[in-house]
Amino acid sequence: MSAIPSRSKGAARLLAKNVTALVPDFPFHYARFLETADSLGTPLAQVSRQAYGKQVLIVGAGVAGMVAAYEAMRMGLHPVVVEASGRIGGRLYSYVAGDPQDPDNSVICEMGAMRFPVSGKALMHYFDKVGMRANSTDFPNPGSPFTPSTVVDYQQKQVYYEGDNLPVDYAEIERKLFEVFLEQDPIKFTEMEAAMSEGSLDQARIKALWNAILDAGWDNLSFFAAMVEQAGWSREDIDLFGQIGFGTGGWNTDYPNCFLEVLRVLYTGLDTNHKLMYDGSSELPGRLWRRAPDTFGDTMVHWPAGTTVEGLTTQVISQPLNQEVRQIVRRSNGEFDVWVFDRTLGSEHSYTFPAVVYTPHKRILDKFRYMDGAARFNQMNDLLSPKEWEAVMYTHYMQSAKIFAQTKRPFWTDVGTDLQYRMSVTLSERITRGTYLLDYAQSQGPYKGCGLFLSYTWNDDALKFLGDRGAPLPSHVQLCTTLLDSVYAPHQLNLAAEFGMTNPFVEINWEEQPFFLCAFKMNLPGQYEYQRLLFSQFMNGVSVLNPDGFILAGDDVSWTGGWAEGAVTTALNAVNKLAVKFNGGTLLTNRGPIDEWQALQPKAL
């Protein structure tokens, strides 16, 4: 029997051990790379002086695009960012619900990513850099010590518990997962956690443990199959675990996905110890866009103090939003002709760049290349190898939907005559699935209101809210309040009476967003090789001293789709590649991902 405690009780242990999310496929220490550059007072890498001012197209203004653009600018390159939508941020999308003119009656609703694990230290580096972590708090996940109470609505019965004091049968499920199943050979959870802990960090051991799992064929198992065939769990236990989950909530929407996808998240601690950013997550790419490096204490070469990514971009494209990149064609000299459709003007423009970093969902790249006839479509074939295009075309994405309501006050903190909180973070097997309660009263920012996600759903559950889009908000809010009022009938809950008076509701379904393909990538069984090809694409041409200037980045290229940490780390890969492309590289005293590729590269199957 392993000594590892349950996950709910083990969150503090992860912090004490200082676990870093070193993704086992390529356990490069991106946070150390960033911290070393900071301590040396240098950009992450360098380009030749002859490359200073060279324009680089960054497609997509999410966190991957903005990190790549910001760090490219610090090296002396000229980033030009274009974004197909009308806003900066991508799936870091902070919407203000309620009355924006009344801070106490308005609250940030995170339409995309909303919880950020502290083990994702590359992302945390940037939150610290732009001053956002100082205005953050612990995210109130179900069963978290920072959550007053949780209710599980399962099989039409409700179970209430406070903090991380799990009911006995829930604690037993968690013990079976972490102390039994995840300790078996070849998973060896405790050994992997030790290898990712800063006091005992061992990248070679991480690789050895992970490669043994790959060699044993676990890429071919779905999460559900692993629970049946390897863990030997009963259907009753599988169903209960799928509903209550641990860390972020229920896990059964992940059951069809490859088990390796789940295992990476558990190994790296991405499933727990989350932060809520009171300023709104989209402030991170926004500040990298509009503020100069010297305001963050960062050094920059070539450009004068005060230079920003926004300023450099608008020198080339005056209105960089609503610019849809449809085709990218490689010239014989290695440069790229790029056709951009201006959605505001309804016209197309072409540009030429020596390098392009592409960060949106990769199947968008495939979709858009069909838009302007066979000639350009065929010309795009050599952007990627046939196998890489196949990997793009078979990338599997997860749906996600959210319904949010701003409330007049945090009514859920009221205590009833039964000494229970009036409402709790709620996990239900019914239509709402996940209900989260958020209070911004302690924020140092402008919005100090409160509200709740009536529903946060993934995969098939998210699709339940599609099909009746004529007037979705009232009907979908009513669907959710009907269930929640029923669940909390003993407390005489009347949610409609708690909602704010001015624009309290907002809803998003990522399945229908025009420049996204669902919410995030999640591989199916047998798709490891596809992911390896996409992640490794940034190395194209490096070994033959002809580095390709077309570079993929973004969380769907990473091994941890859906986590902003993956988006940031692939952006750092792209920055290292740009340095090499422009006849430079990293410093001898701060080796980058390209320098460590030979030792740490993902195993080919």
Q: What is the DSSP string of 25-73?
A: TS---HHHHHHHHHHHTS-SSB--GGGTT-EEEEE--BHHHHHHHHHHH
Report the C-alpha gap between 345 and 368 in whole angstroms.
Answer: 19
All structural domains of the chain, each given as residue ranges with its CATH number in brackets, are 7-24+169-271 (1.10.405.40), 42-88+283-395+519-600 (3.50.50.60), 95-117+400-512 (3.90.660.10)
Residues of the chain with pLDDT under 70: 1-10, 246-250, 469-474
Cα 588–chain centre separation: 31
Q: Could you tell me how many helices (H) and strands (E) the chain has, helices first?
A: 20, 21
Say what the pLDDT of residue 7 is: 59
Instruction: Quick: pLDDT tens for 198-243.
Output: 999 999 999 999 999 999 999 999 999 999 999 999 999 999 998 8
Report the C-alpha gap between 533 and 24 in whole angstroms.
Answer: 16
**Neighbour count for residue 123 (Cβ, 10 Å):** 27
| Closest C-alpha among 416, 420, 423 to residue 494 | 423
SS3 524: coil
Report the C-alpha gap between 61 and 90 in whole angstroms.
Answer: 6
Report the C-alpha gap between 191 and 207 in whole angstroms.
Answer: 12
For 532-553, the three-class secondary structure string (H helix, E strand, C coil) is HHHHHHHHCCCCCCCCCCEEEC
Instruction: Look up tokens 């690789």; give the residue.
Output: 207
Q: Where are the alpha helices (DSSP H) in 183-251?
A: 189-195, 203-215, 223-225, 235-244
Considering all CA atoms of the chain, what is the largest pairwise distance in Å, rounded to the nearest integer? 76
Report the C-alpha gap between 188 and 185 in whole angstroms.
Answer: 6
One-letter amino acid of 497? A
Say if CB 370 and CB 380 are below 8 A apart. no
Report the C-alpha gap between 248 and 71 in whole angstroms.
Answer: 32
Q: At what angle do helices 63-74 and 309-316 cross, to 10 degrees?
A: 90
**Neighbour count for residue 236 (Cβ, 10 Å):** 8
For 431, the token pair is 């239509």
Say if CB 119 and CB 18 are below 8 A apart. no
Q: In terms of C-beta distances under 8 Å and separation of at least 24 residues, what long-range contacts does 372-376 make, across chains too?
A: 372/326, 372/327, 372/339, 376/327, 376/329, 376/339
> Would you call 423 exposed, middle or buried from its count of C-beta atoms within 10 A (0-12, 13-18, 19+)?
buried
The model carries a pTM of: 0.96
Report the C-alpha gap between 363 and 343 in whole angstroms.
Answer: 20
Residues in the chain: 605
Cα 117–chain centre separation: 10
Beta-carbon contacts of 145 under 8 Å, excluding residues fewer than 6 positions away, are 11, 163, 164
Q: How do strand 78-82 and strand 55-59 relate by DSSP bridges? A: parallel
Element (H, E) at 509: strand 505-509
Instruction: Quick: pLDDT tens for 237-276.
Output: 999 998 887 666 668 888 999 999 999 999 999 999 999 9
Say if CB 328 and CB 358 are below 8 A apart. yes
Q: 90's torsion region: left (phi>0), alpha (psi -120 to 50) or beta?
A: left
Backbone angles phi, psi at 378, to 5 degrees: -65, -35
Beta-carbon contacts of 174 under 8 Å, excluding residues fewer than 6 positions away, are 6, 7, 8, 166, 246
